[in-house]
A and B are shown apart, each in its own frame.
Chain A
Amino acid sequence: MTLLEVRDLAIQLDDKQVLGGVSADFKQGRVYAIVGPNGAGKSTLANVIMGLPGYTNFQGDILYRGESLKGLAVDERARKGVTLAWQEPARFEGLSVHKFVTAGAKTTNGRDLAAAALRQVGLEPARYLNRAVDKTLSGGERKRIELASILAIEPALVLMDEPDSGIDVEALDQMFEAIHRLKEKGSTVILITHSRTVLRQAEHAYLLCDGRVIDEGPVNRIGQYFENRCALCDHTNEPGPQEAL
Protein backbone atom coordinates (compact mmCIF):
# COMPACT_ATOMS: atom_id res chain seq x y z
CA MET A 1 0.00 0.00 0.00
CA THR A 2 1.33 3.44 -0.91
CA LEU A 3 1.77 5.58 2.20
CA LEU A 4 3.20 8.75 0.67
CA GLU A 5 2.94 10.15 -2.85
CA VAL A 6 5.00 13.17 -3.83
CA ARG A 7 3.45 14.71 -6.96
CA ASP A 8 5.41 17.11 -9.17
CA LEU A 9 6.75 18.95 -6.13
CA ALA A 10 8.48 22.27 -6.77
CA ILE A 11 9.68 24.96 -4.40
CA GLN A 12 11.72 28.14 -4.60
CA LEU A 13 13.81 29.30 -1.67
CA ASP A 14 15.31 32.79 -1.81
CA ASP A 15 14.40 33.03 -5.51
CA LYS A 16 16.30 29.82 -6.27
CA GLN A 17 14.47 26.82 -7.67
CA VAL A 18 15.53 24.14 -5.18
CA LEU A 19 13.05 21.44 -6.18
CA GLY A 20 11.83 21.42 -9.75
CA GLY A 21 9.02 18.90 -10.08
CA VAL A 22 9.88 15.89 -7.90
CA SER A 23 7.59 12.86 -8.00
CA ALA A 24 8.08 9.75 -5.88
CA ASP A 25 6.02 6.98 -4.26
CA PHE A 26 6.74 5.42 -0.88
CA LYS A 27 5.04 2.21 0.19
CA GLN A 28 4.19 1.25 3.74
CA GLY A 29 6.78 -0.76 5.68
CA ARG A 30 9.69 -0.20 3.29
CA VAL A 31 13.04 1.59 3.59
CA TYR A 32 13.88 4.14 0.89
CA ALA A 33 16.89 6.31 0.19
CA ILE A 34 16.99 9.73 -1.39
CA VAL A 35 20.54 10.02 -2.62
CA GLY A 36 22.35 12.84 -4.33
CA PRO A 37 25.22 15.29 -4.03
CA ASN A 38 25.29 18.24 -1.63
CA GLY A 39 22.76 20.86 -2.65
CA ALA A 40 20.67 18.45 -4.74
CA GLY A 41 17.55 19.27 -2.70
CA LYS A 42 17.41 16.13 -0.54
CA SER A 43 16.99 17.88 2.82
CA THR A 44 14.61 20.38 1.26
CA LEU A 45 12.40 17.49 0.14
CA ALA A 46 12.34 16.13 3.69
CA ASN A 47 11.61 19.57 5.14
CA VAL A 48 8.74 20.13 2.71
CA ILE A 49 7.20 16.75 3.56
CA MET A 50 7.50 17.58 7.28
CA GLY A 51 6.06 21.07 6.68
CA LEU A 52 8.81 23.01 8.44
CA PRO A 53 8.54 26.83 8.47
CA GLY A 54 9.82 28.28 5.21
CA TYR A 55 9.07 25.08 3.29
CA THR A 56 5.28 25.31 2.98
CA ASN A 57 4.89 27.45 -0.13
CA PHE A 58 5.30 24.74 -2.78
CA GLN A 59 3.70 23.68 -6.03
CA GLY A 60 2.49 20.15 -6.65
CA ASP A 61 1.15 18.00 -3.84
CA ILE A 62 2.07 15.56 -1.10
CA LEU A 63 -0.50 12.85 -0.45
CA TYR A 64 -0.27 10.91 2.78
CA ARG A 65 -2.63 7.95 3.01
CA GLY A 66 -4.32 9.50 0.00
CA GLU A 67 -4.91 12.90 1.62
CA SER A 68 -3.04 16.11 0.91
CA LEU A 69 -0.71 17.41 3.60
CA LYS A 70 -1.04 20.93 2.20
CA GLY A 71 -1.98 23.43 4.85
CA LEU A 72 -1.21 21.12 7.76
CA ALA A 73 1.20 22.36 10.44
CA VAL A 74 4.20 20.34 11.56
CA ASP A 75 2.49 19.01 14.68
CA GLU A 76 -0.64 18.08 12.74
CA ARG A 77 1.46 16.06 10.28
CA ALA A 78 3.30 14.49 13.22
CA ARG A 79 0.06 13.43 14.87
CA LYS A 80 -0.89 11.72 11.60
CA GLY A 81 2.31 9.69 11.88
CA VAL A 82 4.99 11.70 10.04
CA THR A 83 8.22 12.59 11.82
CA LEU A 84 11.74 13.80 11.07
CA ALA A 85 15.18 12.96 12.46
CA TRP A 86 17.42 15.98 11.95
CA GLN A 87 20.89 15.95 10.49
CA GLU A 88 22.06 17.97 13.50
CA PRO A 89 19.68 17.26 16.41
CA ALA A 90 18.74 20.15 18.69
CA ARG A 91 20.16 20.55 22.16
CA PHE A 92 17.75 21.03 25.03
CA GLU A 93 19.34 22.67 28.04
CA GLY A 94 18.04 21.05 31.22
CA LEU A 95 15.59 18.70 29.54
CA SER A 96 16.24 15.12 30.60
CA VAL A 97 16.77 12.34 28.08
CA HIS A 98 13.84 10.55 29.70
CA LYS A 99 11.45 13.45 29.08
CA PHE A 100 12.77 14.13 25.60
CA VAL A 101 12.53 10.53 24.43
CA THR A 102 8.95 10.17 25.63
CA ALA A 103 7.83 13.69 24.68
CA GLY A 104 5.52 12.58 21.88
CA ALA A 105 4.64 9.14 23.20
CA LYS A 106 1.24 8.30 24.51
CA THR A 107 2.13 6.27 27.56
CA THR A 108 1.65 6.20 31.27
CA ASN A 109 4.93 4.44 31.85
CA GLY A 110 7.40 6.83 30.26
CA ARG A 111 10.51 5.72 32.09
CA ASP A 112 10.21 2.10 30.98
CA LEU A 113 9.43 3.18 27.43
CA ALA A 114 12.41 5.53 27.35
CA ALA A 115 14.69 2.82 28.75
CA ALA A 116 13.55 0.32 26.12
CA ALA A 117 14.03 2.85 23.30
CA LEU A 118 17.52 3.74 24.53
CA ARG A 119 18.52 0.07 24.62
CA GLN A 120 17.39 -0.27 21.00
CA VAL A 121 19.89 2.39 19.94
CA GLY A 122 22.66 0.88 22.07
CA LEU A 123 22.62 3.34 24.96
CA GLU A 124 22.57 2.12 28.56
CA PRO A 125 19.46 3.64 30.19
CA ALA A 126 21.04 3.95 33.62
CA ARG A 127 23.75 6.20 32.16
CA TYR A 128 21.47 8.41 30.10
CA LEU A 129 17.90 8.68 31.40
CA ASN A 130 18.60 11.49 33.85
CA ARG A 131 21.14 13.37 31.76
CA ALA A 132 20.17 16.52 29.92
CA VAL A 133 19.98 16.60 26.12
CA ASP A 134 22.61 19.32 26.07
CA LYS A 135 26.19 20.01 25.05
CA THR A 136 27.53 17.41 27.47
CA LEU A 137 26.36 14.77 24.99
CA SER A 138 28.37 14.13 21.85
CA GLY A 139 26.77 14.65 18.45
CA GLY A 140 26.59 10.89 18.01
CA GLU A 141 24.88 10.39 21.36
CA ARG A 142 22.31 13.04 20.48
CA LYS A 143 21.63 11.35 17.13
CA ARG A 144 20.98 8.05 18.89
CA ILE A 145 18.82 9.70 21.54
CA GLU A 146 16.83 11.39 18.81
CA LEU A 147 16.31 8.04 17.11
CA ALA A 148 15.18 6.63 20.47
CA SER A 149 12.60 9.42 20.66
CA ILE A 150 11.32 8.33 17.24
CA LEU A 151 11.20 4.66 18.20
CA ALA A 152 9.15 5.67 21.25
CA ILE A 153 6.38 7.25 19.18
CA GLU A 154 6.16 4.42 16.60
CA PRO A 155 5.54 6.68 13.60
CA ALA A 156 4.19 5.51 10.26
CA LEU A 157 6.71 7.59 8.28
CA VAL A 158 10.21 8.57 9.37
CA LEU A 159 12.33 11.02 7.41
CA MET A 160 15.97 10.63 8.47
CA ASP A 161 18.29 13.40 7.29
CA GLU A 162 21.89 12.17 7.01
CA PRO A 163 21.52 9.50 9.72
CA ASP A 164 25.25 8.71 9.70
CA SER A 165 26.58 12.22 10.29
CA GLY A 166 28.62 12.40 13.48
CA ILE A 167 28.17 8.69 14.17
CA ASP A 168 31.01 6.23 14.77
CA VAL A 169 31.08 2.82 13.06
CA GLU A 170 29.77 0.80 16.00
CA ALA A 171 26.96 3.25 16.69
CA LEU A 172 26.09 3.25 13.00
CA ASP A 173 25.42 -0.49 13.11
CA GLN A 174 23.08 0.02 16.05
CA MET A 175 21.35 2.82 14.17
CA PHE A 176 20.85 0.55 11.18
CA GLU A 177 19.40 -2.14 13.45
CA ALA A 178 16.96 0.42 14.80
CA ILE A 179 15.98 1.43 11.27
CA HIS A 180 15.19 -2.19 10.43
CA ARG A 181 13.25 -2.52 13.66
CA LEU A 182 11.12 0.41 12.54
CA LYS A 183 10.50 -1.35 9.23
CA GLU A 184 9.57 -4.59 11.01
CA LYS A 185 6.96 -2.66 12.96
CA GLY A 186 5.48 -1.36 9.72
CA SER A 187 7.06 2.08 9.51
CA THR A 188 8.19 3.56 6.22
CA VAL A 189 11.70 5.01 6.50
CA ILE A 190 13.15 7.55 4.05
CA LEU A 191 16.91 7.96 4.41
CA ILE A 192 18.33 11.25 3.12
CA THR A 193 21.96 10.53 2.33
CA HIS A 194 24.97 10.78 0.10
CA SER A 195 26.61 7.78 1.76
CA ARG A 196 26.83 4.37 0.05
CA THR A 197 26.82 2.69 3.49
CA VAL A 198 23.51 4.28 4.38
CA LEU A 199 22.14 3.74 0.91
CA ARG A 200 22.68 -0.02 1.28
CA GLN A 201 20.14 -0.10 4.13
CA ALA A 202 17.38 0.86 1.73
CA GLU A 203 15.32 -1.33 -0.59
CA HIS A 204 14.69 1.32 -3.21
CA ALA A 205 16.43 4.57 -4.02
CA TYR A 206 15.73 7.86 -5.74
CA LEU A 207 18.65 9.80 -7.21
CA LEU A 208 18.18 13.52 -6.88
CA CYS A 209 20.23 16.08 -8.79
CA ASP A 210 19.60 19.78 -9.14
CA GLY A 211 16.17 19.47 -7.58
CA ARG A 212 14.99 16.70 -9.91
CA VAL A 213 14.73 12.92 -9.70
CA ILE A 214 17.06 11.71 -12.42
CA ASP A 215 16.75 8.00 -11.64
CA GLU A 216 15.12 5.52 -9.29
CA GLY A 217 15.48 1.82 -8.73
CA PRO A 218 17.43 -0.83 -6.85
CA VAL A 219 19.99 0.58 -4.47
CA ASN A 220 22.94 -1.21 -6.07
CA ARG A 221 22.36 0.33 -9.48
CA ILE A 222 21.57 3.78 -8.11
CA GLY A 223 24.56 3.53 -5.80
CA GLN A 224 26.91 2.62 -8.60
CA TYR A 225 25.61 5.41 -10.79
CA PHE A 226 25.94 7.90 -7.92
CA GLU A 227 29.49 6.79 -7.14
CA ASN A 228 30.72 6.54 -10.72
CA ARG A 229 29.00 9.56 -12.22
CA CYS A 230 27.81 12.05 -9.61
CA ALA A 231 31.03 12.01 -7.60
CA LEU A 232 32.97 12.88 -10.74
CA CYS A 233 30.52 15.42 -12.06
CA ASP A 234 32.15 18.78 -12.79
CA HIS A 235 28.80 20.47 -12.77
CA THR A 236 27.40 19.59 -9.41
CA ASN A 237 23.64 19.95 -9.53
CA GLU A 238 23.78 21.01 -13.13
CA PRO A 239 23.78 17.70 -14.97
CA GLY A 240 24.94 17.88 -18.55
CA PRO A 241 24.16 15.31 -21.23
CA GLN A 242 26.54 12.77 -19.68
CA GLU A 243 24.51 12.73 -16.43
CA ALA A 244 21.12 12.58 -18.07
CA LEU A 245 19.63 9.17 -18.47
Chain B
Amino acid sequence: MSDAELVQRLLESVGIKPSHVLSDDVARLEVHQNHVVGAHLLPGLEVDTTERDDGIEAHLRLLPGARFERPIHLCFGMLPEKGLQHIVLEIDVEEDASAQVLAHCTFPNAVEVKHRMDARIRIAPGANYSYYERHVHGPGGGVEVIPHATVELGEGARFKTEFDLIKGRVGEMDIAYDAVGQAHSVLEMLARVSGSGTDKIRIHEKARLAGEAARAVLTTTIALRDDARAEVFNTIIADAPRARGHVDCKEIVQGRAVAKAVPIVEVNDPTAHVTHEAAIGSVDSKQLQTLLSRGLTEDEAVDLIIEGMLS
Protein backbone atom coordinates (compact mmCIF):
# COMPACT_ATOMS: atom_id res chain seq x y z
CA MET B 1 0.00 0.00 0.00
CA SER B 2 1.41 3.42 -0.90
CA ASP B 3 2.00 6.12 1.72
CA ALA B 4 -0.86 8.18 0.27
CA GLU B 5 -3.22 5.20 0.55
CA LEU B 6 -2.12 4.61 4.15
CA VAL B 7 -2.83 8.25 5.02
CA GLN B 8 -6.24 7.89 3.42
CA ARG B 9 -7.01 4.69 5.35
CA LEU B 10 -5.81 6.09 8.69
CA LEU B 11 -7.91 9.23 8.33
CA GLU B 12 -10.97 7.31 7.19
CA SER B 13 -10.67 4.99 10.19
CA VAL B 14 -11.12 7.96 12.53
CA GLY B 15 -14.05 9.30 10.54
CA ILE B 16 -12.24 12.27 9.05
CA LYS B 17 -12.73 13.25 5.45
CA PRO B 18 -9.16 13.40 4.10
CA SER B 19 -9.99 16.65 2.30
CA HIS B 20 -10.51 18.32 5.69
CA VAL B 21 -6.91 17.91 6.77
CA LEU B 22 -5.06 17.41 3.49
CA SER B 23 -5.22 21.07 2.64
CA ASP B 24 -2.47 23.62 2.31
CA ASP B 25 -3.46 25.60 5.39
CA VAL B 26 -3.29 22.62 7.79
CA ALA B 27 0.07 21.57 9.23
CA ARG B 28 0.10 17.81 9.73
CA LEU B 29 2.04 14.64 10.37
CA GLU B 30 0.85 11.07 9.82
CA VAL B 31 2.70 8.05 11.16
CA HIS B 32 1.84 4.45 10.33
CA GLN B 33 3.54 2.06 12.77
CA ASN B 34 7.20 3.15 12.44
CA HIS B 35 6.96 5.04 9.18
CA VAL B 36 6.13 8.67 8.47
CA VAL B 37 3.58 8.41 5.68
CA GLY B 38 2.56 12.03 5.39
CA ALA B 39 3.62 15.48 6.51
CA HIS B 40 2.92 19.08 5.66
CA LEU B 41 4.58 21.94 7.52
CA LEU B 42 3.72 25.59 7.77
CA PRO B 43 5.93 28.53 8.75
CA GLY B 44 6.43 28.55 12.52
CA LEU B 45 6.47 24.76 12.85
CA GLU B 46 9.55 22.59 12.57
CA VAL B 47 9.39 18.81 12.73
CA ASP B 48 12.31 16.36 12.82
CA THR B 49 11.52 12.67 12.70
CA THR B 50 13.63 9.54 13.00
CA GLU B 51 12.20 6.16 12.15
CA ARG B 52 13.15 3.34 14.53
CA ASP B 53 12.45 -0.39 14.50
CA ASP B 54 9.63 -0.09 17.03
CA GLY B 55 8.25 3.34 16.14
CA ILE B 56 9.47 6.86 15.60
CA GLU B 57 11.11 9.74 17.41
CA ALA B 58 9.67 13.14 16.60
CA HIS B 59 10.67 16.60 17.70
CA LEU B 60 8.08 19.30 17.12
CA ARG B 61 9.12 22.88 17.60
CA LEU B 62 6.70 25.77 17.55
CA LEU B 63 8.82 28.85 16.96
CA PRO B 64 8.55 32.00 19.09
CA GLY B 65 5.35 33.93 18.42
CA ALA B 66 4.06 31.33 15.94
CA ARG B 67 0.31 31.31 15.31
CA PHE B 68 -1.76 28.82 13.33
CA GLU B 69 -5.21 29.52 11.97
CA ARG B 70 -6.27 25.89 11.96
CA PRO B 71 -5.31 23.11 14.38
CA ILE B 72 -2.18 21.15 13.62
CA HIS B 73 -3.20 17.57 12.87
CA LEU B 74 -1.27 14.55 14.06
CA CYS B 75 -2.28 10.99 13.27
CA PHE B 76 -0.58 7.96 14.80
CA GLY B 77 -1.80 4.47 14.17
CA MET B 78 -1.45 1.13 12.51
CA LEU B 79 -3.75 -0.96 10.41
CA PRO B 80 -2.32 -4.47 11.01
CA GLU B 81 -3.85 -6.63 13.71
CA LYS B 82 -0.59 -7.05 15.62
CA GLY B 83 2.44 -4.92 16.32
CA LEU B 84 4.13 -2.26 18.40
CA GLN B 85 4.14 1.47 17.88
CA HIS B 86 6.40 3.41 20.22
CA ILE B 87 6.31 7.17 19.74
CA VAL B 88 8.97 9.25 21.43
CA LEU B 89 7.74 12.77 21.17
CA GLU B 90 9.45 15.97 22.14
CA ILE B 91 7.46 19.16 21.84
CA ASP B 92 8.84 22.63 22.37
CA VAL B 93 6.36 25.48 22.35
CA GLU B 94 8.52 28.55 22.39
CA GLU B 95 7.79 31.97 23.86
CA ASP B 96 4.43 33.45 22.98
CA ALA B 97 3.70 30.73 20.42
CA SER B 98 0.11 29.54 20.32
CA ALA B 99 -1.23 26.37 18.75
CA GLN B 100 -3.93 23.77 18.96
CA VAL B 101 -3.04 20.21 18.10
CA LEU B 102 -5.63 17.61 17.21
CA ALA B 103 -4.11 14.16 17.49
CA HIS B 104 -5.83 10.95 16.39
CA CYS B 105 -4.56 7.54 17.41
CA THR B 106 -6.20 4.76 15.47
CA PHE B 107 -5.96 0.99 15.70
CA PRO B 108 -9.15 -0.15 13.97
CA ASN B 109 -8.15 -3.79 13.43
CA ALA B 110 -6.18 -4.38 16.61
CA VAL B 111 -5.95 -7.89 18.00
CA GLU B 112 -2.60 -7.52 19.73
CA VAL B 113 -1.32 -3.98 19.35
CA LYS B 114 0.77 -1.98 21.78
CA HIS B 115 0.86 1.79 21.45
CA ARG B 116 3.31 3.52 23.72
CA MET B 117 3.97 7.22 23.77
CA ASP B 118 6.67 8.91 25.80
CA ALA B 119 6.34 12.63 25.45
CA ARG B 120 8.19 15.58 26.88
CA ILE B 121 6.35 18.85 26.44
CA ARG B 122 7.95 22.19 27.26
CA ILE B 123 5.80 25.30 27.06
CA ALA B 124 7.79 28.48 27.30
CA PRO B 125 6.67 31.62 29.15
CA GLY B 126 3.63 33.22 27.58
CA ALA B 127 3.00 30.32 25.21
CA ASN B 128 -0.36 28.62 24.78
CA TYR B 129 -0.66 24.98 23.75
CA SER B 130 -3.75 22.78 23.48
CA TYR B 131 -3.50 19.07 22.72
CA TYR B 132 -6.66 17.13 21.93
CA GLU B 133 -6.04 13.40 21.64
CA ARG B 134 -8.78 11.17 20.26
CA HIS B 135 -8.39 7.41 20.21
CA VAL B 136 -10.30 5.13 17.88
CA HIS B 137 -10.06 1.45 18.64
CA GLY B 138 -11.72 -1.59 17.12
CA PRO B 139 -14.40 -3.63 18.86
CA GLY B 140 -12.03 -6.41 19.97
CA GLY B 141 -10.14 -4.58 22.69
CA GLY B 142 -6.77 -5.91 21.61
CA VAL B 143 -4.90 -2.69 22.26
CA GLU B 144 -2.54 -1.69 25.01
CA VAL B 145 -2.24 2.08 25.21
CA ILE B 146 0.48 3.63 27.35
CA PRO B 147 0.71 7.39 26.97
CA HIS B 148 3.18 8.91 29.41
CA ALA B 149 4.15 12.56 29.37
CA THR B 150 6.02 15.15 31.35
CA VAL B 151 4.93 18.75 30.94
CA GLU B 152 6.80 21.88 31.95
CA LEU B 153 4.88 25.15 31.90
CA GLY B 154 6.84 28.38 32.01
CA GLU B 155 5.65 31.58 33.61
CA GLY B 156 2.24 32.58 32.29
CA ALA B 157 2.10 29.57 29.98
CA ARG B 158 -1.15 27.73 29.29
CA PHE B 159 -1.60 24.04 28.54
CA LYS B 160 -4.83 22.23 27.94
CA THR B 161 -5.06 18.57 27.09
CA GLU B 162 -8.10 16.43 26.40
CA PHE B 163 -7.88 12.68 26.03
CA ASP B 164 -10.89 10.86 24.55
CA LEU B 165 -11.32 7.13 24.19
CA ILE B 166 -15.00 6.67 23.58
CA LYS B 167 -15.27 4.65 20.37
CA GLY B 168 -14.40 0.97 20.37
CA ARG B 169 -12.97 -1.08 23.22
CA VAL B 170 -10.22 0.40 25.37
CA GLY B 171 -8.25 -2.81 25.87
CA GLU B 172 -5.63 -1.87 28.46
CA MET B 173 -4.71 1.71 29.10
CA ASP B 174 -2.21 3.34 31.40
CA ILE B 175 -2.12 7.14 31.22
CA ALA B 176 0.51 8.95 33.25
CA TYR B 177 0.95 12.72 32.95
CA ASP B 178 3.24 14.66 35.23
CA ALA B 179 3.15 18.44 34.98
CA VAL B 180 4.92 21.31 36.73
CA GLY B 181 3.55 24.85 36.45
CA GLN B 182 5.52 28.03 37.09
CA ALA B 183 4.04 31.33 38.20
CA HIS B 184 0.68 32.31 36.70
CA SER B 185 0.61 29.25 34.48
CA VAL B 186 -2.68 27.51 33.73
CA LEU B 187 -3.00 23.75 33.30
CA GLU B 188 -6.13 21.80 32.37
CA MET B 189 -6.11 18.04 31.90
CA LEU B 190 -9.29 16.26 30.93
CA ALA B 191 -9.76 12.55 30.21
CA ARG B 192 -12.96 10.91 28.99
CA VAL B 193 -12.97 7.15 28.63
CA SER B 194 -15.64 4.55 28.01
CA GLY B 195 -14.73 1.01 29.05
CA SER B 196 -16.54 -2.26 28.47
CA GLY B 197 -15.87 -5.99 28.28
CA THR B 198 -12.70 -6.72 30.22
CA ASP B 199 -11.09 -3.32 29.62
CA LYS B 200 -8.57 -2.10 32.17
CA ILE B 201 -8.05 1.62 32.65
CA ARG B 202 -5.46 3.32 34.80
CA ILE B 203 -5.06 7.08 34.92
CA HIS B 204 -2.48 8.88 36.98
CA GLU B 205 -2.29 12.60 36.41
CA LYS B 206 -0.16 14.80 38.60
CA ALA B 207 0.28 18.55 38.69
CA ARG B 208 2.74 20.43 40.83
CA LEU B 209 1.97 24.11 41.20
CA ALA B 210 5.48 25.42 41.73
CA GLY B 211 5.01 29.10 40.93
CA GLU B 212 2.92 31.83 42.52
CA ALA B 213 -0.73 31.85 41.42
CA ALA B 214 -0.27 28.81 39.20
CA ARG B 215 -3.56 27.02 38.52
CA ALA B 216 -4.53 23.48 37.57
CA VAL B 217 -7.70 21.48 37.00
CA LEU B 218 -7.62 17.71 36.54
CA THR B 219 -10.90 16.22 35.35
CA THR B 220 -11.59 12.56 34.63
CA THR B 221 -14.88 11.14 33.44
CA ILE B 222 -15.22 7.40 32.94
CA ALA B 223 -18.12 5.12 32.05
CA LEU B 224 -17.69 1.40 32.74
CA ARG B 225 -19.81 -1.59 31.76
CA ASP B 226 -19.57 -5.36 31.87
CA ASP B 227 -16.37 -6.43 33.66
CA ALA B 228 -14.34 -3.31 32.97
CA ARG B 229 -12.14 -1.88 35.72
CA ALA B 230 -10.75 1.59 36.25
CA GLU B 231 -8.38 3.20 38.71
CA VAL B 232 -7.85 6.93 38.80
CA PHE B 233 -5.14 8.56 40.90
CA ASN B 234 -5.08 12.28 40.29
CA THR B 235 -2.82 14.50 42.34
CA ILE B 236 -2.33 18.22 42.75
CA ILE B 237 0.49 19.56 44.89
CA ALA B 238 0.45 23.28 45.62
CA ASP B 239 3.85 24.56 46.70
CA ALA B 240 3.48 28.25 45.94
CA PRO B 241 1.54 31.24 47.28
CA ARG B 242 -1.99 31.70 45.88
CA ALA B 243 -1.80 28.56 43.80
CA ARG B 244 -5.23 27.15 42.97
CA GLY B 245 -6.22 23.65 41.96
CA HIS B 246 -9.16 21.29 41.62
CA VAL B 247 -9.33 17.54 41.09
CA ASP B 248 -12.59 16.13 39.74
CA CYS B 249 -13.35 12.49 39.03
CA LYS B 250 -16.69 11.09 37.96
CA GLU B 251 -17.29 7.43 37.13
CA ILE B 252 -20.50 5.70 36.09
CA VAL B 253 -20.50 1.98 36.75
CA GLN B 254 -22.82 -0.58 35.18
CA GLY B 255 -22.91 -4.37 35.34
CA ARG B 256 -19.99 -5.99 37.19
CA ALA B 257 -17.60 -3.15 36.50
CA VAL B 258 -15.33 -1.87 39.26
CA ALA B 259 -14.13 1.70 39.70
CA LYS B 260 -11.69 3.31 42.07
CA ALA B 261 -10.90 7.00 42.37
CA VAL B 262 -8.22 8.46 44.59
CA PRO B 263 -7.92 12.24 44.44
CA ILE B 264 -4.80 13.42 46.26
CA VAL B 265 -4.29 17.04 47.21
CA GLU B 266 -1.28 18.45 49.01
CA VAL B 267 -0.93 22.08 50.00
CA ASN B 268 2.43 23.40 51.15
CA ASP B 269 1.64 27.09 51.30
CA PRO B 270 -1.03 28.60 53.56
CA THR B 271 -2.34 30.92 50.83
CA ALA B 272 -2.81 28.13 48.31
CA HIS B 273 -6.15 26.40 47.88
CA VAL B 274 -6.85 23.01 46.32
CA THR B 275 -10.18 21.18 46.24
CA HIS B 276 -11.30 17.77 45.04
CA GLU B 277 -14.43 15.79 44.39
CA ALA B 278 -15.01 12.22 43.30
CA ALA B 279 -18.26 10.48 42.52
CA ILE B 280 -18.75 6.86 41.56
CA GLY B 281 -22.13 5.31 41.01
CA SER B 282 -24.76 4.06 38.68
CA VAL B 283 -26.65 6.34 36.32
CA ASP B 284 -28.84 8.94 37.96
CA SER B 285 -32.26 7.45 38.64
CA LYS B 286 -34.20 10.57 37.69
CA GLN B 287 -32.35 10.91 34.39
CA LEU B 288 -33.03 7.24 33.68
CA GLN B 289 -36.74 7.42 34.56
CA THR B 290 -37.15 10.57 32.46
CA LEU B 291 -35.79 8.86 29.37
CA LEU B 292 -37.73 5.66 30.09
CA SER B 293 -40.89 7.76 30.28
CA ARG B 294 -40.14 8.92 26.72
CA GLY B 295 -40.14 5.31 25.55
CA LEU B 296 -36.42 4.51 25.46
CA THR B 297 -35.40 1.07 26.67
CA GLU B 298 -33.09 0.95 29.69
CA ASP B 299 -30.07 0.20 27.48
CA GLU B 300 -30.90 3.08 25.14
CA ALA B 301 -31.41 5.43 28.06
CA VAL B 302 -28.11 4.47 29.74
CA ASP B 303 -26.28 4.86 26.42
CA LEU B 304 -27.68 8.35 25.97
CA ILE B 305 -26.85 9.42 29.53
CA ILE B 306 -23.29 8.13 29.17
CA GLU B 307 -22.94 9.74 25.74
CA GLY B 308 -23.87 13.05 27.30
CA MET B 309 -21.56 12.61 30.24
CA LEU B 310 -18.62 11.80 27.97
CA SER B 311 -19.39 14.42 25.35
- A, B assembled together: yes
B275 within 8 A of A: no
Stretch touching chain A among B19-27, B28-36, B228-236, B296-304: B296-304
What 0/1 pattern do residues 282 to 293 of B give for CB contact below 8 A with A? 001111011111
Stretch touching chain B among A29-37, A59-67, A89-97, A113-121: A89-97
Q: Which bracket fits the contact residues of B?
A: 20 to 34
A172, chain B: closest CB distance, angstroms: 22
A53-B285, A75-B298 known; A89 and B308 CB under 8 Å? Answer: no
Interface SS, B side: helix
B285 proximity list for chain A (CB < 8 A): 53
What 0/1 pattern do residues 19 to 54 of A give for CB contact below 8 A with B? 000000000000000000000000000000010110
Say yes or no: A78 contacts B308, CB within 8 Å.
no
**In the complex, what distance in Å separates the CA atom of A50 from the CA atom of B290?**
11
**In the complex, what distance in Å separates the CA atom of A53 from the CA atom of B311?**
28
CB-contact partner of B296 in A90, A92, A95, A104, under 8 A: A104
Say yes or no: A104 contacts B295, CB within 8 Å.
yes
A198, chain B: closest CB distance, angstroms: 20
CB-contact partner of A93 in B289, B291, B296, B309, under 8 A: B309
Say yes or no: A94 contacts B308, CB within 8 Å.
yes
Say yes or no: B289 contacts A52, CB within 8 Å.
yes
A190 within 8 A of B: no
**In the complex, what distance in Å separates the CA atom of A84 from the CA atom of B293?**
6
B310 within 8 A of A: yes
A residues with CB within 8 A of B:
50, 52-53, 73-75, 77-79, 82-84, 86, 89-96, 99, 103-104, 132-133, 146, 149-150, 153
18 contacts between A and B (CB under 8 A): A74-B289, A75-B293, A75-B301, A77-B293, A78-B292, A78-B293, A78-B296, A82-B293, A84-B293, A90-B284, A90-B287, A92-B287, A94-B308, A94-B311, A95-B308, A99-B307, A132-B311, A153-B294
